[in-house]
C-alpha cells in the first residue's frame, strides 16, 4: 500500500515516480486491552511479507519513536506507522496490517474496494465497541491506565 504519489513539478512532460515501498510497519496497540493484546499475538504468529514491530501505545518507547503523534489518540484508535512516516489509523490501520501478511494480502486489497470497505469499517466498529466494554476510560494522569514504560517488539 504505497502512500500518496510524490509531488512532481509542473512541466510539459511530467514524470511519475513510483511511491516508495513500505518496508516495515510499527503497530501501536493498547497494552491494557485484551482484544488488542490477542490481535498483536495473532499478527506475530503470521508469516509477514512486511515486518511488523509492536509498541504499546502511549508508552515511553512510542513517544520516543514518534514524538509528532498525538499519543492520547493512539490509545483510542489503532495506529500503524510506516518506515517512511506514513500514518494509518482505524480502518486503514487494520487493512495495512492484513496487507503485511502473506495469507491476507489479497483480502486486504479486497477490503479497500467499494464492496469490502463496509465490511472493514464494520469490523473496526465492532472491535471498538468491545474495547469500550473491556477497557475502562482513563483519567488524565491516572497510573491505573499507564502503559508499560518500554516497547515490545515482535519476534524476528
Residue 47 located in a structural domain: yes
Distance CA 49, CA 52 (A): 9
Q: Is the pTM of this model over 0.75?
A: no
Selected residue with higher pLDDT from 3 and 29 = 29
Residue 42 C-alpha cell reads as 495473532
Residue 147 located in a structural domain: no
Domain hosting 127: range is: 25-134
Q: What is the pLDDT of residue 156?
A: 34
pLDDT confidence of 153, banded at 50, 70, 90? very low
Choice among 61-65, 108-112, 126-130 with the minimum mean pLDDT: 126-130
Residue 1 located in a structural domain: no
Residue 84 C-alpha cell reads as 517512511
What is the domain count for the chain?
A: 1
Residue 110 located in a structural domain: yes
Distance CA 1, CA 103 (A): 16
DSSP state of 104: G
Residue 17 located in a structural domain: no
Residue 72 located in a structural domain: yes
- What percent of the chain clears pLDDT 70, i.e. is strictly above it? 70
Q: Which of 13-22, 67-76, 117-126 has the largest mean confidence?
A: 67-76
Distance CA 131, CA 74 (A): 14
Residue 86 located in a structural domain: yes
Arithmetic mean of pLDDT over the chain: 79
Backbone angles phi, psi at 26, to 5 degrees: -110, 125
Residue 36 located in a structural domain: yes
Distance CA 113, CA 133 (A): 30
Q: What is the pLDDT of residue 3?
A: 43
Q: What is the pLDDT of residues 88-99, one digit of tens each?
A: 999 999 999 999
**Residue 130: C-alpha distances to residues 34, 52, 66, 86, 124 (Å):** 10, 24, 27, 27, 10
pLDDT confidence of 137, banded at 50, 70, 90? low
Amino acid at each position: 500500500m504505497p502512500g500518496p504519489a510524490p509531488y512532481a513539478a509542473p512541466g510539459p512532460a511530467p514524470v511519475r515516480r513510483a511511491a516508495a515501498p513500505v518496508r516495515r510497519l510499527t503497530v501501536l496497540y493498547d497494552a491494557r486491552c485484551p482484544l488488542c493484546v490477542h490481535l498483536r499475538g495473532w499478527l506475530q504468529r503470521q508469516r509477514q511479507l512486511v515486518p511488523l514491530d509492536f509498541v504499546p501505545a502511549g508508552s515511553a518507547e512510542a513517544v520516543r519513536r514518534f514524538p509528532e503523534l498525538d499519543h492520547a489518540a493512539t490509545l483510542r484508535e489503532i495506529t500503524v506507522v510506516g518506515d517512511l512516516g506514513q500514518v494509518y489509523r482505524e480502518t486503514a490501520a487494520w487493512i495495512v496490517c492484513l496487507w503485511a501478511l502473506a495469507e491476507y494480502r489479497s483480502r486486504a486489497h479486497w477490503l479497500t474496494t467499494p464492496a469490502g470497505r463496509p465490511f472493514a469499517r464494520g469490523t473496526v466498529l465492532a472491535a471498538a465497541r468491545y474495547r469500550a466494554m473491556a477497557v475502562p476510560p482513563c483519567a488524565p494522569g491516572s497510573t491505573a491506565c499507564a502503559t508499560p514504560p518500554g516497547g515490545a517488539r515482535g519476534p524476528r
